[in-house]
């Protein structure tokens, strides 16, 4: 375990506090918040060229909402939180499918809506195709 804190307080988004967590402490930190009465609301990811930011919105009746954020290099994996919050499965699958974020430990991480040859269309370097891919026309 780390000697220093595993998170730092970030900016507030629309009045919701943001906690930035080190990637190696992300899973444990989310588990600890669940023990404190927080439940899962949503998960999203952002591609910042060579980096992914994973943002999880949690809510507690006593403490209100909190955003938990972590940043990883785009070629690394982050621990899945599906074992803590099973409802996070489709959110992680969406981040994988559209951005290419790989969640270590997600038992069914696969594409659901787009063909493999489409790539990851929400990445910064993605270029729209002029020709149809797998029957899709953009």
Cα-flanking dihedrals φ and ψ of residue 8, to 5°? -135, 150
**Domains, the chain:** 7-118 (3.30.460.80)
User: If you search the block for the tokens 């506090």, which residue do you land on?
Assistant: 17
pLDDT computed for residue 122 by the predictor: 65
pLDDT of residue 116: 75
pLDDT at 112 (0 to 100): 83
Strand partners, 45: 54
Per-residue pLDDT of the chain (138 residues; tens, 9 = 90+): 445 567 677 667 688 999 999 999 999 999 999 999 999 999 999 999 899 999 999 999 999 999 999 999 999 999 999 999 999 999 999 999 888 899 999 988 888 888 777 767 667 666 666 555 555 554
* Three-state secondary structure call for residue 80: coil
pLDDT tens, 72-101? 999 999 999 999 999 999 999 999 988 889
In order, the DSSP letters of 115-137 are -GGG--TTSTT----SS-BTTB-
pLDDT at 127: 62
């Amino acid at each position: 375990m780390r000697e220093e804190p595993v998170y730092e307080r970030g900016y507030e988004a629309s009045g919701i506090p943001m906690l930035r967590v080190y990637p190696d402490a992300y899973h444990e930190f989310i588990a600890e918040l669940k023990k404190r009465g927080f439940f899962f609301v949503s998960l999203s990811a952002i591609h910042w060229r060579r980096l992914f930011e994973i943002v999880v919105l949690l809510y507690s009746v006593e403490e209100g909402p909190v955003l938990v954020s972590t940043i990883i290099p785009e070629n690394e994996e982050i621990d899945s939180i599906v074992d803590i919050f099973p409802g996070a499965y489709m959110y992680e699958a969406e981040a994988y499918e559209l951005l290419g974020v790989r969640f270590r430990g997600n038992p069914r991480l696969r594409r659901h809506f787009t063909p493999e040859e489409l790539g990851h269309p929400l990445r910064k370097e993605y270029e729209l195709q002029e020709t149809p891919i797998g029957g899709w026309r953009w």
